[in-house]
Amino acid sequence: MDPDQRERRFQTICLLILSSVTIAVALFWLRPIMIPFVLAVFFALGLTPLIEFQIRYLRAPRPLALLATLVFGVVILTMLGVLISTSVGQLAENAGAYQTQIKRLLDSVAAALPQEFFGVPIKTALNSLTQRALGTVGGVLVGTTNAIFGILSQSLLVLIFLVFLLIGGSTPARLNGGFLGEVESRIKRYILTKALVSAATGVLVGGTLRVLGIDLALVFGLFAFLLNFIPSVGSIVATLLPLPMVLVSSDISSTTAVLALAVPAVIQFVIGSVIEPKVMGESLDLHPVVILLALILWGMLWGIVGMLLATPITAVMKILFEKMELTAPVAELLAGRLDALRSD
């Protein structure tokens, strides 16, 4: 690589870093508008195959297909909003009981341990840990509740954006191939697959806990559905959420407690590690470490919604980087193909 080319690449990297920081600040500042808009974009991408199906196979006129899809989308969003609102309300009402169960669980652990551990009174250490855990859990529950209610309060804006995106959407022929066509096809596949897989996970986990008689089974099933959109971390959190309710409740037998933890864990593992990779394949082509970093970054910018949208947004960025020669190495880095970078 000659000095001029090296200097141009260095300037490009510096400009890319400065642009990224500027865009991040703008996204954080504009989040009240950008979050509903981005949600509407992904909802529109998820509903577009339904429009194409009606036009291609049912021979329906495009205006009629649009109207039917809009009605279907409004019904689905309304049902999802009611379900989320009911579950979050139930979670908020039982937040005190949930924290009490956590305290009882930690007290049981303290009683089972020796009186001193490394010369420190175990009771004193556990009391401090209990206060910190209760404060953290309480903050997480309140933050999650407020964030979800905030999203629901913006549902009207999401619907307005969704209507205009579907009405003004391009036909499949116009987007066949090219950058927009590649982005749309990959994101459509991701959204549809992830939505179906997450719905199956939520139904199976919630149904299992309901059959076993676990309190807040509907809430835990809903969180299994939502958290499944967060790769790797989400499934672990969803599996551990019922832990205090299962281990401490006096109405639950040991067998039921084991099943309430083991069965959802098996469901999460089978669906997340066996079924989903076979169905989804390498549609996004992102390295797991990149996905984890994206979760942290978008979570800092947009909170819970940012974590849910981190993976598809990062995939769009990767496709964009692939199309430009100067940023192509960045795309290879996002995919984890370091050999391609060493060859330059």
Q: Quick one: pLDDT at residue 110?
A: 62
Q: Quick one: pLDDT at residue 173?
A: 45
Question: Could you tell me which residue, 176 or 155, shows the higher pLDDT?
Answer: 155
Q: Quick one: pLDDT at residue 172?
A: 47
**Interatomic CA distance for residues 187 and 181, integer angstroms:** 10
Structure tokens at 21: 């920081």
Buried b (16+ CB within 10 A) or exposed e, 261-272: bebbbebbeebb
Report the share of the chain in percent with pLDDT over 70: 72
**Interatomic CA distance for residues 344 and 342, integer angstroms:** 5
Read off the pLDDT of residues 44-64 as tens digits, 9 standing for 90 and up: 888 888 888 888 888 888 889
Name the pTM for this structure: 0.75
Read off the pLDDT of residues 319-342 as tens digits, 9 standing for 90 and up: 778 777 777 777 888 877 776 555
DSSP assignment of 196-243 equals HHHHHHHHHHHHHHHHTT-TTHHHHHHHHHHHTTSTTHHHHHHHHTTH
Read off the pLDDT of residues 187-218 as tens digits, 9 standing for 90 and up: 788 788 888 888 999 999 999 988 988 877 88
Q: How far is CA 123 from the centre of its chain?
A: 38
Read off the pLDDT of residues 244-259 as tens digits, 9 standing for 90 and up: 777 666 677 778 888 8
Read off the pLDDT of residues 272-329 as tens digits, 9 standing for 90 and up: 888 887 776 655 677 888 888 888 899 889 887 888 888 888 877 887 787 777 777 7
Whole-Å CA distances, 54 to 65, 66, 74, 166, 171: 6, 9, 17, 14, 13
**Interatomic CA distance for residues 318 and 330, integer angstroms:** 8
Q: Quick one: pLDDT at residue 287?
A: 80
pLDDT level of residue 150 (50, 70, 90 thresholds) = low
Question: Could you tell me which residue, 336 or 225, shows the higher pLDDT?
Answer: 225
Q: Quick one: pLDDT at residue 208?
A: 92
